[in-house]
Chain A
Amino acid sequence: MIEIKKIGAQGDVLFRRVRSLPKTAIEENVSGRIVVAHSETGHDHSIDATDGVRLFSEPSDPLVCYLQLEGVEYADVVHHRAWDTHDTVRLLGGAAKKPVVFEARRQREYVPEGFRRVED
């Protein structure tokens, strides 16, 4: 378990606290767990205890999503793989009355046409 206040990474996902949600962000309907980063080979990064956590996507950037924590001290992002598992990341919400927002950024790599998301 590692705690992140401002910025940290869990494998190919980077979490960064931001001041607020961008105006363009759209809330995603979530049933069950929040999949922060889907993996082609089944080892998702997800928030399994979702009380007080909301997920937002950013239409202009498919590699970015936002997690808003409200009324909870933290949200744990779990990496679901039986081996070479990344430690659980605890995003700290603090006791602030105002919601805390983390930006989650997927890792990318260069291709001559620009870039593509890292597939794992």
Chain B
Amino acid sequence: MAKIERLTPEQIARFPEYVRRWTAIGLSTQLANREKAEDAIRRAYAAGGRPPPAKIVWCGSPLSQGLTRAIVLDAKFQTLVGERVRDSVWASVGASVGDSVRASVGASVWASVWASVGASVRASVGDSVRASVWASGYGSHDVNWLAFYEYFRTECGLREATRKLEALTDLSHHAGWWLPHANICWVSERHNVLARDAAGRLHAVGGPAVCYPDGWAIYAVHGVRVPAKWVEKPAELDPKTALTWPNIEQRRAAAELIGWGRIIEQLSPVIVDRHPDPEVGTLLRVDLPDSPGEQFLRVRCATGRDFVLPVPPDMKTARQAGAWTYGLTETQYRLERRA
């Protein structure tokens, strides 16, 4: 077969369909199809040159799956469980498919399909969901790269080169994460709740942004993970938290959940200095219940979001306070540009 150096306009026109279809698979909140998933797992082992696992254990979430495995391994049942096989399945399946598809496809075609299909699916699924969970075999969250190969398989006829991926592709349609060992394979249900904002970031107010059938949940506000109680009981969120929480992204999320109106109403900050440029910011003085005279710089980031930074009580202007946050003097702090 001749190397594919160019895609036809008809082939390129299929990109959006792949992104749409595979994003939907990655974001699916359906219960796993256990029968089909178990069949796919056995075929994935076979594709990796291994006998099927003696036992497939279903878990309600990636968390319980990871915990169950940790407990079993900790209890010195390793021989029962057998060695980890994810890497050997991956090495034999992933590398050989990658090499043979790459050999058949020109670099520019590879890049354009990745950019249009793989990267788009990754942006809408992988980074927003998988990053919020953690590492293993990702099942339905593997769609970002499986979609890429599926495109070549279906649209460019590379069926033979991608054959070893068929089981993993099927698994992505039917289950969540999986942890393959030689004798036991743990596999998880998919999330049954998944809420995102218009930009595709995990986001829900009033409940979890991600939830699994066993109740494990992730709470997030516009892509920033936050404690459950902030989202479940925002009325109990203390305005002081929105000014002093250690992580600045979570601090900003707290301010958003409380609302600046309520923060100002409850803490009555005094404006010490307001610079006309919101990116230089406003210097506020607040008497917190246990620490009077605290100063904060409220500043707009180049991404359009407002942040609050505690600054020393002897700051007189917003620019001086901004300079201090970078360890500079007010005279040195004259930015050409801000990204």
- Could you list which residues of chain A lie within 8 angstroms of chain B, going by C-beta atoms? 2-12, 14, 16, 40-42, 61, 63-64, 79, 82-89, 105, 107-112, 118-120
Does B337 make an interface contact (CB < 8 A)? Answer: yes
Q: Please tell me if the beta carbons of B310 and A110 are within 8 angstroms of each other in the complex.
A: yes
In the complex, residue of chain B having the shortest beta-carbon distance to the beta carbon of A110: B310
Contact between A11 and B301, CB atoms less than 8 A apart: yes
Q: Which residues of B contact A (CB under 8 A)?
A: 123, 127-128, 131, 199-201, 222-223, 246-249, 291, 295, 301-303, 305, 309-312, 324-328, 332, 334-339
- A52→B248 CA distance, assembly (Å): 34
- A7, A61, A64, A84 — most chain B CB neighbours (10 Å): A84
A118 CA to B201 CA, complexed, in Å: 23
Which listed residue (A6, A7, A110) contacts B312, Cβ 8 A? A110
Which residues of A have CB within 8 Å of B201? 83
**Which chain A residues lie closer than 8 Å to B339 at the CB level?**
2, 8-11, 79, 86-89
Interface contacts beyond A109-B310, A119-B246: sample of 15 additional A-B pairs, CB < 8 Å, sorted by A: A4-B336, A9-B337, A10-B338, A10-B339, A11-B301, A11-B303, A11-B339, A12-B248, A41-B249, A64-B327, A105-B327, A111-B310, A119-B248, A120-B248, A120-B249
Closest A residue to B302 using CB positions: A86
In the complex, residue of chain B having the shortest beta-carbon distance to the beta carbon of A119: B247
Residues of B within 8 A of A107 (CB): 309, 325-326
In the assembly, what is the distance between CA of A66 and CA of B269, in Å?
38
Docked-complex contact A2 and B326, CB < 8 angstroms: no
The answer to whether B199 and A109 have CB atoms under 8 Å apart is: no
Nearest B residue to A1, CB-CB? B339
Please name all residues of chain A whose beta carbon is closer than 8 Å to the beta carbon of B249 when the two chains form the complex: 41, 120
Q: Closest CB of chain A to B210's CB: distance in Å?
A: 16
Assess whether B199 is in contact with A4, with CB atoms less than 8 Å apart.
Answer: no
Across-interface contacts of B334 in A (CB, < 8 A): 7
Whether the Cβ atoms of A118 and B223 lie closer than 8 Å is: no
**Known A105-B326, A105-B327: A4·B302 in contact at CB below 8 Å:** no
What's the least CB distance linking A27 to chain B, in Å?
A: 22
**Contacting pair A83 B302 (CB below 8 A):** no
How far does the Cβ of B292 sit from chain A's closest Cβ, in whole Å?
A: 12
Chain B contacts of A88 at CB under 8 A?
A: 339
Complex CA–CA separation, A14 to B336 (angstroms) = 11
Across the interface, do B223 and A83 meet the contact criterion of CB distance under 8 Å?
Answer: yes
Nearest-CB residue, chain B, relative to A11: B301
The list of the 6 closest CB pairs from A to B, nearest first, reads A87-B339, A82-B127, A8-B337, A14-B326, A2-B337, A110-B310
Nearest B residue to A79 via CB reads B339
Chain A residues within 8 Å of B309, by CB: 107, 109-110, 118
CA distance A8 to B333 in the complex (A): 9
> What are 21 contact pairs spanning A and B, CB under 8 A?
A4-B336, A6-B336, A8-B335, A8-B336, A8-B338, A9-B335, A11-B302, A14-B326, A14-B328, A16-B328, A84-B305, A85-B303, A86-B303, A86-B339, A89-B339, A105-B326, A108-B326, A109-B325, A118-B325, A119-B248, A120-B248
- Collect the chain A residues with CB atoms within 8 Å of residue B324's CB: 110
**Given the contacts A82-B128, A84-B305, A120-B247, A108 and B337 also touching, CB distance less than 8 Å:** no
Contacts of A12 in B (CB 8 A): 248
Task: Please pick, from B123, B222, B248, B302, the residue contacting A87 in the complex, using a CB distance under 8 A.
Answer: B302
In whole angstroms, how far apart are the Cα atoms of A98 and B34 in the complex?
64
In the bound assembly, the distance between CA atoms of A20 and B213 in angstroms comes to: 58
